[in-house]
């Protein structure tokens, strides 16, 4: 029974009137500074050079001993998930080879109860176990998760045996790890249960005892026993129809063909009551009540897989006979590249054109491309050890966009790579304590921490830089050689370098810097943390020379650094702009500094890093920055849109790092009033958001609003904010949402009026808003919506079975400004009872974060709720202590004046010991930093600039 506010009572009545119907990973990253000790190493040219030792010390006791290795697994599991029974049982038969004479065999085991373990001979036929030799003693070390089987006899090197291990386990609960349970509501409101797997990086050991390391590949034969009304799916196709279980007539056994050789982390299976859509050699599995939403992912899957097979010149179907995609409810927005059975959270696989936005379609397309790229990078060739996880994730991030572009050129997906990958990687990689791409790890937690922005976005950016600089044709030849050499095996970074070296030696040896091989070239980026800033200083003499220099870029300081990146650079000038990158046009800065000659006249601008393919920032001398600002304000189209995005992003971040006068990016961004492309606008978004958040609630905010209205002045009238034309491109729709969001945020009357009218018209007609303007119309229309409209939108949320659509509606409801509506929504997040059963735990926390993230009124609503002691306990019980701590931190970050500080202090006093003292202290420190900003150089310059623009906006 939930307590209700007046409006919530209205919502509750609506809930009772009809039955209920049924979002890149959040990465952590290591922050320990790398131990970049130097070691001498002999290179291909027989020269001695200094290279970093990237294998920093780790606890090697977590690694399995190398005395045995797996050859083949036969895994049999039994589950009763159909009745939500979380216990499962299994037997695994492991054929292994003895590499060194031993009396012990060691595998991994995480929280499985091993009942018995036996050693068998290999049958005389060579397949399957033969006679039992002995029952082995067994023990598990809970720290290392090593299951050690002790035998009474010495096993000679070179021999093969079978282990038969009987075990029991328990399904994990909706945590996307190991063998875990999920659920959904069918159309009758009945909860249905399913079980599926996600083993990367070290979770296979929680489903069955195994050699859970990426290099220890084997073949797998699966047998799943489950209720007859359910179906089973795995990496490989079924080996015939399910057969009755001799032990229970209500169960069947589903058997699968022997797999391709692969590591344990790629083994996958699921037991569900899902519907199946098939086209060619691909299928999509999803719950029956979203069957219609599987058409697009099936079409995209076929198209993208064929595209990648052609690009790689290695057919997927040469190694695997089928591909299945499966949508797992309540799995978040992650996905896993299991060979032949790719698993997704529903929001990133299912697509319903009637309710899902262009952004959903883009994410479905690119994430399918990411996971399918893994079929080559990670599955066909796996990393030798997790240290080289970038050989998986970096390539998958690159081809997430590139393969989507090749498959759907009309989508212009490659346009997003600069702003979503490169510029995002810069943010994480500008820290003094960030790790390099090559980084060793041993314990499960250390290994999990490697799946971070460095592994994905930085690595994808570095790989793309070399793809462009060396030429895509040469790159593809190198990849083919790499994959051919290491297929069905493990790979080191050096194996990739070797493949590229062979390709260039044949096709284009002149593309490399003199005396430098591919290994040295790429190792300067993969084994060193961070990235450089390329300083461009023009001499403005008769020779038109430029002095280039490099140093590591850090966001908050400048430190001496002796490392030299091999930087591929190209440039163009205002006298003859040419922004098309070609390998032959690249030079290499392979020293700290160098002088080059150009053909760009002194009175014309110059731009380095065409289309921002290189993974580095660029800083110019003051005069060239002035030339660039003048060019942008005169005619921005003379500079490529990706370089316009680069200039905005680089100038802002160089200024924040105190390498550039802050007025440079502020004046440069004034050109945006003439900008009509998405990439430069979204590149500016982080800067505009930063200043908006700093100035909101202060006397200076009005000046910032003048600045924003000035740069929006020309573009806003060109966009139909309340309608969608069929011919609008994907990029145009992204641009329109960006501009509409900002126009309404800064109080543009036409924007607020049209979105309010559009929402009211949709409510009156009882017709949902067109999905491609839904985010802007719902959110901004809710600012002054009636209670009736609020409830109508809530009803759509309640009725929707599509997780991505439900998230859009949560965010829309959170945009309300009336205290009673916001209180009602927050209480929905804490609600219990049958009418709330359809809500996911992630949706409850999303409601709270969406409310305090949407407006100051939302922040106050959260404060008002938490000021009531009766609700604090429910808040923690439903959402967890971490959600409360996060709410306090976010309230503090949005506290900009004394009145808001007084509200925060009153809340902290009211909460008392309900929040840790460390959280309260951090919140107060955050507020003090907000106040102190106005006395910093950055704050003073920004305030002065916006005040000047407010009095003379024409001088932008």
Tens digits of residue pLDDT in 732-761: 999 999 999 999 999 999 999 999 999 999
Taking residues 346-351, what's their average pLDDT? 97
State if pTM tops 0.85.
yes
What pLDDT band is residue 19 in, cutting at 50, 70 and 90? very low
- Determine phi and psi for 338, rounding to 5 degrees: -35, 135
pLDDT over 90, % of the chain: 89
Closest by Cα among 458, 477, 457 to 467: 477
SS3 622: helix
Band (240; pLDDT cuts 50, 70, 90)? very high
Express each pLDDT in 844-880 by its tens digit: 999 999 999 999 999 999 999 999 999 999 999 999 9
Per-chain mean pLDDT for the chain: 92
700 is in an annotated binding site: no
pLDDT band at 63 (very low <50, low <70, confident <90, very high): very high
Confidence of residue 44 (pLDDT cuts 50, 70, 90): very low
| Residue 55 pLDDT | 56
604-to-237, 540, 619, 625, 631 alpha-carbon distances in Å:
63, 10, 16, 11, 9
Among the ranges given (111-115, 390-394, 776-780), the one the predictor scored with the smallest mean pLDDT: 776-780
Residue 336 has pLDDT above 60, yes or no: yes
How much is the average pLDDT of 364-376? 98
Per-residue pLDDT tens over the stretch 253-307:
999 999 999 999 999 999 999 999 999 999 999 999 999 999 999 999 999 999 9
Quote the pLDDT of residue 473.
96
Q: Give 733-736 contacts, CB < 8 A, sequence gap 24+.
A: 733/358, 733/772, 734/358, 734/359, 734/678, 734/682, 735/676, 735/677, 735/678, 735/681, 736/773, 736/776
Q: Taking the CA of residue 452 as centre, how many other CA atoms within 13 Å lie in the half-sphere pointing to its CB?
A: 23
- Ordered structural domains, the chain, with CATH: 62-273 (2.60.40.1730), 286-508 (1.10.390.10)
Q: Which two tokens stand for residue 324?
A: 């299945």
Residues catalogued as catalytic: 371
In this structure, are residues 267 and 220 in contact, taking their beta carbons and an 8 Å threshold? Answer: yes
Closest CA to 429 of 421, 419, 440: 421
Closest among 852, 842, 828 to 903, alpha carbons compared: 852
Does the pLDDT of residue 28 top 70, yes or no? Answer: no
Task: Assess whether pLDDT exceeds 70 at residue 91.
Answer: yes
What is the reported pLDDT for 955?
A: 67
Question: Annotation-wise, does 370 bind a ligand?
Answer: yes
Q: Percent of the chain at pLDDT above 70?
A: 94
Q: Is 227 annotated as a binding residue?
A: no
Over 80: is that where the pLDDT of 353 sits? yes
| Interval 430-447 mean pLDDT | 96
Average pLDDT estimate for 817-830: 96
Q: Are 522 and 565 in contact (CB under 8 A)?
A: no
pLDDT at position 832, please? 82
Banded model confidence at residue 30, pLDDT cuts 50, 70, 90: very low
Across 156-160, 269-273, 482-486, 947-951, least confident range:
947-951
Q: Encoding tokens for residue 155?
A: 């096993």
Q: What is the pLDDT of residues 578-626, one digit of tens each?
A: 999 999 999 999 999 999 999 999 999 999 999 999 999 999 999 999 9
Q: Is it the case that residue 948 has pLDDT exceeding 50?
A: yes
Could you tell me the CA-to-CA distances from 744 to 23, 721, 739, 754, 894 in Å, in that order?
25, 10, 9, 10, 19
Instruction: Provide CB contacts within 8 A for 678, sequence distance 6+.
Output: 415, 731, 732, 734, 735, 738
Q: Where are the alpha helices (DSSP H) in 696-786?
A: 701-712, 730-745, 749-765, 771-781
């Amino acid at each position: 029974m939930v307590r209700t506010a007046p409006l919530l009572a209205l919502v509750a009545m609506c809930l009772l009137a009809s039955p209920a119907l049924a979002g890149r990973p959040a990465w952590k990253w290591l922050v320990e500074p790398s131990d970049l000790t130097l070691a001498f190493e002999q290179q291909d040219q027989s020269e001695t050079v200094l290279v970093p030792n990237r294998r920093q010390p780790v606890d090697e006791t977590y690694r399995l001993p190398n005395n045995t290795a797996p050859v083949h697994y036969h895994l049999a599991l039994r589950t009763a998930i159909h009745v939500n029974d979380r216990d499962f049982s299994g037997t695994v038969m492991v054929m292994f080879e003895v590499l060194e004479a031993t009396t012990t065999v060691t595998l991994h085991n995480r929280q499985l109860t091993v009942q018995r373990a036996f050693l068998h001979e290999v049958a005389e036929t060579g397949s399957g176990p033969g006679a039992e030799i002995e029952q082995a003693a067994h023990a598990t070390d809970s720290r290392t998760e090593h299951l050690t089987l002790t035998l009474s006899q010495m096993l000679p090197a070179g021999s093969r045996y079978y282990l038969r291990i009987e075990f029991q386990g328990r399904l994990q609960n909706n945590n996307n790890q190991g063998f875990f349970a999920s659920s959904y509501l069918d159309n009758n409101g009945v909860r249905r249960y399913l079980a599926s797997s996600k083993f990367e990086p070290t979770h296979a050991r929680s489903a069955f005892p195994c050699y859970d390391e990426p290099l220890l590949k084997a073949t797998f034969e699966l047998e799943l026993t489950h209720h007859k009304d359910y179906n089973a799916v795995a990496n490989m196709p079924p080996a015939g129809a399910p057969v009755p279980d001799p032990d229970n007539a209500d169960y069947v056994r589903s058997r699968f063909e022997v797999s391709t050789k692969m590591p344990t982390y790629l083994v996958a299976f699921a037991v569900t009551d899902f519907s199946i859509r098939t086209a060619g050699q691909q299928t999509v599995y999803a719950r029956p009540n979203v069957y219609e939403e599987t058409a697009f992912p099936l079409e995209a899957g076929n198209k993208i897989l064929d595209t990648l097979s052609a690009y790689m010149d290695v057919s997927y179907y040469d190694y695997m006979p089928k591909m299945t995609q499966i949508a797992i409810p309540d799995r978040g927005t992650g996905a896993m590249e299991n060979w032949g059975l790719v698993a997704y959270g529903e929001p990133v696989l299912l697509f319903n054109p009637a309710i899902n936005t262009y952004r959903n379609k883009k994410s479905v397309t690119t994430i399918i491309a990411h996971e399918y790229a893994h079929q080559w990078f990670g599955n066909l060739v796996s990393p030798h050890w997790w240290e080289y996880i970038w050989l998986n994730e970096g390539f998958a991030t690159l081809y997430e966009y590139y393969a989507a572009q090749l498959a759907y050129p009309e989508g212009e997906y490659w346009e997003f790579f600069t702003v979503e990958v490169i510029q995002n990687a810069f943010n994480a990689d500008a820290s003094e304590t960030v790790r390099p791409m090559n980084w060793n790890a041993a314990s499960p937690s250390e290994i999990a921490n490697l799946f971070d922005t460095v592994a994905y976005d930085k690595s994808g950016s570095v790989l793309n830089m070399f793809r462009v600089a060396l030429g895509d044709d040469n790159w593809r030849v190198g990849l083919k050689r790499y994959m051919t050499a290491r297929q069905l095996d493990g790979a080191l970074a050096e194996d990739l370098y070797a493949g590229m070296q062979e390709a260039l030696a044949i096709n284009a040896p002149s593309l490399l810097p003199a005396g430098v091989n591919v290994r040295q070239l790429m190792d300067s980026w993969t084994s060193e943390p961070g990235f450089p800033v390329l300083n461009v200083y023009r001499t403005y003499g008769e020779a038109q020379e430029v002095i280039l220099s490099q140093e590591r870029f850090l966001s908050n300081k400048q430190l001496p650094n002796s490392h030299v990146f091999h930087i591929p650079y190209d440039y163009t000038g205002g006298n003859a702009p040419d922004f098309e990158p070609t390998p032959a046009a690249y030079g290499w800065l392979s020293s700290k500094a160098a002088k080059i000659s150009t053909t760009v006249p002194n009175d014309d601008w110059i731009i380095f890093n065409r289309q921002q393919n290189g993974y580095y920032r660029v800083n110019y001398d003051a005069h060239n920055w002035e030339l660039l600002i003048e060019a942008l304000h005169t005619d921005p189209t003379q500079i490529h849109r990706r370089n316009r995005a680069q200039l905005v992003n680089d100038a802002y971040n160089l200024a924040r790092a105190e390498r550039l006068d802050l007025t440079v990016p502020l004046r440069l961004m004034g050109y945006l009033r003439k900008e009509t492309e998405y990439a430069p606008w979204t590149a500016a978004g982080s800067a505009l958001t930063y200043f908006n958040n700093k100035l909101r609630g202060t006397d200076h905010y009005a000046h910032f609003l003048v600045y924003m209205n000035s740069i929006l002045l020309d573009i806003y009238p060109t966009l139909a904010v309340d309608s969608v034309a069929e011919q609008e491109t994907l990029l145009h729709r992204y641009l329109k949402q960006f501009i509409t969001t900002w126009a309404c945020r800064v109080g543009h009357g036409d924007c607020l009026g049209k979105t309010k009218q559009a929402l009211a018209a949709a409510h009156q007609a009882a017709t949902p808003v067109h999905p491609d303007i839904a985010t802007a119309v719902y959110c901004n229309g809710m600012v002054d919506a009636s209670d009736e409209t609020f409830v109508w939108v809530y009803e759509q949320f309640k009725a929707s079975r599509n997780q991505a659509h439900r998230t859009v509606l949560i965010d829309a409801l959170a945009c309300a400004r009336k205290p009673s509506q916001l209180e009602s929504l927050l209480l929905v997040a804490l609600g219990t009872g049958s009418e709330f059963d359809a809500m996911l735990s992630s949706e409850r926390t999303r409601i709270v974060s969406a409310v305090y993230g949407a407006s100051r009124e939302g922040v106050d609503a959260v404060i008002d709720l938490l000021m009531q002691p009766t609700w604090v306990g429910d808040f923690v019980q439903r959402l967890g202590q971490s959600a409360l701590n996060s709410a306090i931190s976010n309230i503090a970050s949005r506290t900009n004046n004394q009145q808001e500080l007084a509200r925060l202090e009153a809340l902290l006093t009211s909460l008392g010991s309900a929040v840790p003292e460390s959280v309260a202290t951090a919140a107060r420190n955050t507020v003090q930093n907000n106040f102190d900003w106005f006395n910093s150089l950055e704050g003073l310059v920004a305030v002065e600039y916006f005040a000047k623009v407010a009095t003379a906006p024409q001088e932008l």
